[in-house]
Amino acid sequence: MSIINHKYKHVFVHVPKTAGTSMEKMHFVGGSGHESFQELVAKSDFNPTYFKWAFVRNPYTRIASAFFYLRNNRRIFRNLNFHDFVYKIEELIDGDLNVHIIPQYEFLKCNKSIMDFIGKYENLICHWPHIIVRIVEITNDKKLLRTPNSHIISRNNVTLFKPNDYMGLYTNELKNKIYKIYEKDFDIFKYQQ
């Protein structure tokens, strides 16, 4: 649900599997799809003065979350176990990747503009108030602060697995493969191998 929101003067880039369902529930975010920052900047209604923001996620837990989502929703992944899923990503990495497994940095890179804020899914509850405050500062719309629960965000699309459970899916071999495939995500967004 990447969006250029003119009413609240912000640009939200939705990196798949990084709290998009939570954002969707906030009336001042809205939008649809997974357009990259580059794609949004190319639109005629892009305003570089708007607050530009996104969330990223630890590549290990993001890919585990994508595995459960894609296994239930995409035929190509339906009968794969996690090991085979990781190998399938490796096989597809230079080709036609599903939007949910494209490296995160690909959504946020742009030669013409830079992001103002990149929060982390793992710190969603702490980072969310920063988003609200920035939008209020830009729009001078203090009603947003009084909107019930506007300052509260939760992880709405949560599987039965928690981040530590996700890590239980990984062997050292699979961790190394994911690190190799998503090395730029680990480096750029400061996640540990």
User: pLDDT of 96-143, one tens digit each?
Assistant: 778 899 999 999 988 778 899 999 999 988 888 888 889 889 988 877
C-alpha 56/C-alpha 63 separation (Å) is 12
What domains lie within the chain, and their CATH numbers?
Answer: 3-188 (3.40.50)
C-alpha 25/C-alpha 27 separation (Å) is 6
| Encoded tokens for 86 | 């990781």
Residue 164's pLDDT band (boundaries 50, 70, 90)? low
